[in-house]
Amino acid sequence: MALSEFDLIARYFRPLTQGRAEALNLLDDAAVITPPAGRQLVVTTDALVAGRHFLADGEPVGLAHKALGVNLSDLAAMGAEVYGYTLALAAPKPLSEDWLAGFAAGLAEVQAAHGIFLLGGDTVGTEGPLTLSVTAMGWVPQGAALTRGGARAGDALYLSGTVGDAALGLLVAQDGRTLAGAAGDAFLKDRYERPQPRTTLGPRLVGRATACLDVSDGLAADVGHIAEVSDLGAEIDAANLPLSEAVRTALEADPGLLSRIVTGGDDYELAFCLPDTAQSASEVEKLAAETGVGLTRIGTMTAPPESGPRVRVLGPGGAALDLQTGGFTHF
């Protein structure tokens, strides 16, 4: 006998509230939240659709990591301390309890890693593709949220972690390519399926970074968002891009992958700007040591160009690379 909606919620999702009073035991139509004094609420929503944002046959634990991780990354980019989330699940019928158990287990893993809990949401059956919509919430000090619009010409441009892992991981997962050997390909695939939102780093950038966002649509495109909103240009030095060992292996075998590395997206690392000073460089070194996240200067924000693209990726000799695509777009 199929589970009723209320039985499904009680069995798989109520435990994810961790008994927090705000969630009202998932017995009501909404949660009740009291913001901490002197803080603003930061809210973000992402919808992920099977076949568009993730592979339709993706395993449920990984899908939970992705659905929740991409939203936590948005909070980190705003400098917010993560708090909780709601989930809207639109699932094709019949819905497997094994799938539900795996999905709930994946959510529990992400919750434990980032100290968050489920506040509520909705579950519906659909004839269409599986759709996962998460709304995540966090707190920032009053008036201190990081945005894309505060960068200044001459600012240093930094990137957390490594770039290109997820883009190549998609090639491994979708096309079955062999790019970096068995272990390297497994690493790349995991980076695509399970984002690592920088929720510890983001709040530490408040009061330091002049602009920040997460790299979801592709490094060049997302730095372009900072440049556009701040009315600037940007130059990225390809030689300074932080690359994992697996990406370096793949790139050595096929240098043509560089364009995909720069434009492919799904990295969910933070790109941020700081004044180009010795003090800022010293603070970056300290932040990297304290958070355990690599931080690399990859370029400089410039005056807005008179013509051509706002973002130039410079190759050997300083020549701008001809990127084959501009990054992910929904429409």
DSSP state of 298: E
What is the arithmetic mean of pLDDT over 133-148?
A: 97
pLDDT per residue over 162-213, tens digit each? Answer: 999 999 999 999 888 899 999 999 999 999 999 999 999 999 999 999 999 9
- Domain segments of the chain as ranges: 5-141, 156-318
Distance (Å, rounded) from C-alpha 27 to C-alpha 191?
36
CA angle at 270 for the pair 278 and 198, rounded to the nearest 5°: 110
Q: Tell me, what's the pLDDT at 58? A: 81
Say what percent of the chain tops pLDDT 90.
82
Instruction: Say whether pTM exceeds 0.75.
Output: yes
- Output the CA torsion sign for 150, 207, 202, 47: negative
Same fold, 5-141 and 156-318: no
168-181 burial, b at 16+ Cβ within 10 Å, e below that, comes to bbbbbbeeeeebbe
pLDDT per residue over 23-63, tens digit each? Answer: 999 999 999 999 999 999 999 999 999 877 787 778 999 99
The three-state (H, E, C) secondary structure of 65-92, written as one string? HHHHHHHHHHHHHCCCEEEEEEEEEEEE
Collect all residues with Cβ–Cβ distance below 8 Å to 59 and sequence separation of at least 6: 102
pLDDT per residue over 241-286, tens digit each? Answer: 999 999 999 999 999 999 999 999 999 999 999 999 999 999 999 9
Q: What count of residues does the chain have?
A: 331
Q: Which residue has the tokens 């998609």?
A: 170
CATH 3.90.650.10 fits 156-318, yes or no: yes
Residue 325 has pLDDT above 80, yes or no: no
What is the pLDDT of the chain when averaged over all its residues? 93
Facing residues of 295 across strands? Answer: 160
Q: State which CATH number among 3.30.1330.10, 3.50.50.60, 3.40.50.150, 3.40.50.300 fits the domain covering 5-141.
A: 3.30.1330.10
Using N-to-C axis directions, what is the helix angle for 97-114 and 60-77, rounded to 10°?
A: 30
Q: What single-letter amino acid sits at 149?
A: G
What is the arithmetic mean of pLDDT over 96-114?
A: 95
